[in-house]
């Protein structure tokens, strides 16, 4: 992440220098923190709101019921025996499936915290990596925003992309799981 972050910033500045507009760098550099803060506030607000509802769902036992459906599948994929981790992973996956992306984030972070409790090292465990990969595969049953946007821009068939999106995401998910499993096995030897 370190090398990557440095590359993003240095490359951006380099491009601007090549384009010969050096004074624009400072303009962008000083306005960027403000934008970053604004974006963060939006993200934080949705995390706070959904954390509230998630806690409600947790305390009422709703999440336990959801967990019962997903745990058999998840325990095939993950090595952890941590009940809390399973609970939050299930919540995260269900929120993702429903397209409640904002609700998925706090549950996902909590799951990661639980998974990292079993991992005292400074590198990510294979369970942690697999869980993040599942989250980057973006499985949604109804990609509402996309269909809405296509409709807005005058598409004659906004829903034509539904099946391809599902299919392509599943292919990604399949390879994600295979890669993770194979690599973690090879590394362990």
Partner 1 sequence: MTKIISDIIITSFIVFVLIFSLFRSNDSFSSFVEGVKDGIKISIKIFPNVFALILAVELFIKTGAVEMFETFLGPIFNKLGIFQESLGLIMIKPFSGSASYVVLKDIFEKFGPDSQIGIYSSIICASTETLFYVITTYLACTRVKKTRYLIPVAIAVDFIVLLVAAFLVKNGLK
Q: Which of residues 48-77 bind partner 1 (CB under 8 A)?
A: 48-62
Least separation, in Å, of the C-beta of 67 and partner 1?
14
d(CA 8, CA 15): 11
Contact 137, 172 (CB under 8 A): yes
Interface with partner 1 (CB under 8 A), residue from 20, 23, 76, 136: 136
Distance CA 146, CA 138 (A): 13
Give the per-residue contact string, 99-128, with partner 1 (x = CB under 8 A; - = no): xx----xx-xxx-xx-xx--x--xxx---x
Piece of the chain touching partner 1 by CB under 8 A; list 20-28, 67-75, 79-87: 20-28
Whole-Å CA distances, 91 to 49, 98, 111, 137, 144: 16, 11, 9, 16, 20
- Nearest-5° angle of CA 126, CA 132, CA 136? 140
The interface region with partner 1, picked from 11-19, 67-75, 81-89 by CB under 8 A, is 11-19
Please select the residue that binds partner 1; options are 81, 156, 188, 189, rule is CB under 8 A: 156
16 makes contact with partner 1 (CB under 8 A): yes
Burial class of residue 21, CB neighbours in 10 A (0-12, 13-18, 19+)? exposed
Give me the least distance between CB of 88 and partner 1, in Å please: 11
Residue 30 in contact with partner 1, rule: CB under 8 A: no
């Amino acid at each position: 992440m370190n090398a990557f972050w440095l590359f993003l910033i240095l490359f951006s500045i380099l491009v601007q220098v090549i384009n010969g507009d050096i004074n624009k760098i400072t303009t962008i550099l000083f306005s960027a923190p403000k934008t970053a803060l604004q974006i963060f506030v939006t993200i934080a607000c949705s995390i706070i709101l959904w954390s509230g509802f998630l806690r409600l769902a947790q305390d009422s036992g709703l999440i336990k019921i959801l967990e019962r459906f997903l745990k058999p599948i998840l325990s095939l994929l993950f090595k952890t025996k941590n009940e809390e981790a399973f609970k939050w992973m299930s919540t995260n996956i269900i929120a993702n499936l429903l397209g409640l992306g904002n609700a998925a984030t706090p549950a996902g972070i909590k799951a990661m915290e639980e998974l990292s409790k079993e991992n005292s090292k400074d590198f990510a465990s294979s369970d942690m990596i697999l869980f993040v990969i599942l989250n980057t595969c973006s499985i949604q049953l109804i990609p509402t925003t996309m269909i809405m946007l296509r409709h807005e821009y005058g598409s004659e068939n906004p829903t034509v992309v539904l099946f391809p999106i599902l299919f392509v995401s599943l292919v990604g998910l399949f390879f994600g799981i295979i890669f993770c499993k194979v690599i973690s096995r090879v590394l362990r030897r």
